[in-house]
Amino acid sequence: MRYINRCLVLLTLLFTTVTAQASWDEARDTIEQASSKMMQVLENEPLKAPEQSEALIAEIEAILNPVVDFDYASKRVMGKYYNRVDAKQQQLFSSVFKDTMVRTYAKSLTGFDIVRYEVAPEGHPSPDADKQVVSVNVFAANGQQYTLVYYMLKQESGWRLVNVLVDGINLRLNFKNQFADMVSRTNGDVKQVIADWKAAMANNGSKDS
């Protein structure tokens, strides 16, 4: 009986490892496809001109749209304040946050002056089959290397990106801290924070164009 139990444990571990590996491979493939498309955009020299910033952002947004779960990410950014506003306000912030995320990501990538990338070999696949982390190393023209760490969540529509570390900076956590600070400064007026964030992004977009 002890031998049978040991075999069952080993089989369970083997099955878990195989499932985790397959899960990570799927998440990696999603990132690989998006990274390849992103590289094509970054290699488009005319798009790098300052007056083409909005066109560049639009191209990057088109790549991120099917990959990033902006609703999920924006809810995490709002944190405990999410349920203090109605669905209309929640959706408004999701839209505003999407613009924030796309512009921040676009500026990071163009700022790095990337010439190539490579998906890093897996470390230890998460035993949680619907959550995986995929790292991508990007290389600048000056030889500098940066690392992008993508946190992936499997949903009915496929693997979706829910957070990213850009060279060690946790974008979602940064935005969450910023949101909480703004709520504190407005004495808990979440609607005002959303309105202010929207206005700031609108102003930022006009400066970029």
Distance of CA 145 to the CA centre of its chain: 19
The reported pLDDT for the residue numbered 22 is: 76
> In the numeric block, which tokens belong to residue 192?
């005002």
Maximum average pLDDT range among 28-32, 105-109, 125-129: 28-32
Q: Is a pLDDT exceeding 80 seen at residue 179? A: yes
Rg of the chain, C-alpha, whole Å? 20
Q: How far apart are CA 31 and CA 152, in angstroms?
A: 9
Which CATH number is correct for 2-208, 3.10.450.710, 3.40.50.460, 3.90.1150.10, 3.40.50.720?
A: 3.10.450.710
Angle at 125 between CA 123 and CA 127, to 5 degrees: 145
Winning range, highest mean pLDDT, from 16-30, 32-46, 72-86: 72-86
For residue 13, pLDDT over 60 is answered with: no
d(CA 34, CA 82) in angstroms, rounded, equals 30
Report pLDDT digits (tens) over 121-156: 866 667 687 899 999 999 998 989 999 999 999 998
7 pLDDT more than 50: no
Predicted confidence at residue 18, as pLDDT, reads 44
Ranges assigned E (strand) in the chain: 114-119, 131-140, 145-155, 158-166, 169-170
- Percentage with pLDDT > 70 across the chain: 85
Contacts of residues 133-138 at CB distance under 8 Å and 24 or more positions apart, as own/partner, are 134/24, 134/27, 134/28, 134/31, 136/31, 136/35, 138/109, 138/112, 138/114
More confident of the two residues 5 and 65 = 65
Domain boundaries, the chain: 2-208
In this prediction, residue 17 has a pLDDT band, given cuts at 50, 70 and 90, of very low
CA angle, residues 180, 181, 183, in degrees to nearest 5 = 65
- Residue 181 has a pLDDT of 97
The confidence score (pLDDT) of residue 124 equals 67
What confidence tens digit (pLDDT) does each residue in 71-105 have?
A: 999 999 999 999 999 999 999 999 999 999 999 88
User: Which residue would you say has higher pLDDT here, 35 or 2?
Assistant: 35
| Whole-number pLDDT of residue 147 | 92
pLDDT band at 208 (very low <50, low <70, confident <90, very high): low
- What letter does residue 68 receive in the DSSP assignment? B
pLDDT tier at 2, thresholds 50, 70, 90: low
